[in-house]
Amino acid sequence: MLNLIIFGPPGSGKGTQSARIVEKYKLTHLSTGDLFREEMEKNTPLGQEVRKYIDQGLLVPDEIALRELYSRASEHMDSPGFIFDGFPRTIVQAEALDQMLNEREIPICLVISVEVDREELFKRIIGRGEDSGRSDDSEDIIRRRLQVYEEQTLPLISYYKNQGKFVAINGMAHVDKVFAKICHAIDTYLETKKVVPEVE
Ligand code: AMP
């Protein structure tokens, strides 16, 4: 099973790259952000609960994110692999995910980090908010989301570096170029089981 995590701050292009990876490698896309947005659109009790956090740019509590992720993943255990997008976002989530996958002997293979500098991120998310109408893409909320990312999600870099699974990809280039670099890292892993730590 090819299990990947696509990692990066809001606006790094994770969603776009995930869609391409899913198509090429036939993986199941698990995005907790998409899942929560669906629930908010349908205005379900879960949607109402998570909206309180999302609209403020805060993380949804770990137990909710974990429960929903597990429930979605367990529907697709026959898949050739998963791409986790926007999950894990905290060390607690990462440890729980490792436990779940290791018990099933289907561990994470690679953590692909799409790296984009802060100024560019800001420009991209503001632009996206104008197009998408996402309730959490306003300027104040973006600042909060980037701060939450730095405080709660960045520690995952060392967590996965210590496991020798972390691949840094320069995400400032054109989407096609970024995708080519990601494919290079995945194909190298599939052929040699080696992790390329950095693709410039
Ligand atoms: P995203 O589309 O991945 O940027 O997610 C949008 C929002 O959903 C985030 O700003 C969080 O409020 C919430 N969210 C998504 N995934 C998680 C997660 N794994 N843990 C906690 N909150 C999450």
The pLDDT tens digits of the residues spanning 106-132 come to 999 999 999 998 888 888 887 776 677
**What H or E segment, with its residue span, contains residue 77?**
none
Chain segment 55-107, per-residue pLDDT in tens: 999 999 999 999 999 999 999 999 999 999 999 999 999 999 999 999 999 99
Sorting pLDDT into bands at 50, 70 and 90, what band is 135? low
Q: Cβ < 6 Å from ligand 1: which residues?
A: 10, 32-33, 36, 53-54, 58-60, 65, 86-89, 93, 136, 145
- Of all protein residues, whose CA lies closest to atom 6 belonging to ligand 1? 33
How many Å apart are CA 183 and CA 129, to the nearest integer? 29
> Cis peptide before 88, with omega less than 30 degrees from 0?
yes
Domain boundaries, the chain: 4-199
Q: Is the pLDDT of residue 27 over 70?
A: yes
A 10 A CB-CB count for 66 gives: 20
Distance 76 CA to ligand 1 centre (A): 21
Query: pLDDT value at position 57?
Result: 94
Closest ligand 1 atom to Cα of 31: 3
Q: Say which residues have a Cβ less than 8 Å from residue 143's Cβ, sequence separation at least 6.
A: 57
pTM: 0.94
Closest ligand 1 atom to Cα of 87: 19
How far CA 104 is from CA of 4, 32, 74, 108, in Å, comes to 15, 21, 11, 11
* Choices 3.40.50.720, 1.10.10.10, 3.30.565.10, 3.40.50.300: CATH for 4-199: 3.40.50.300
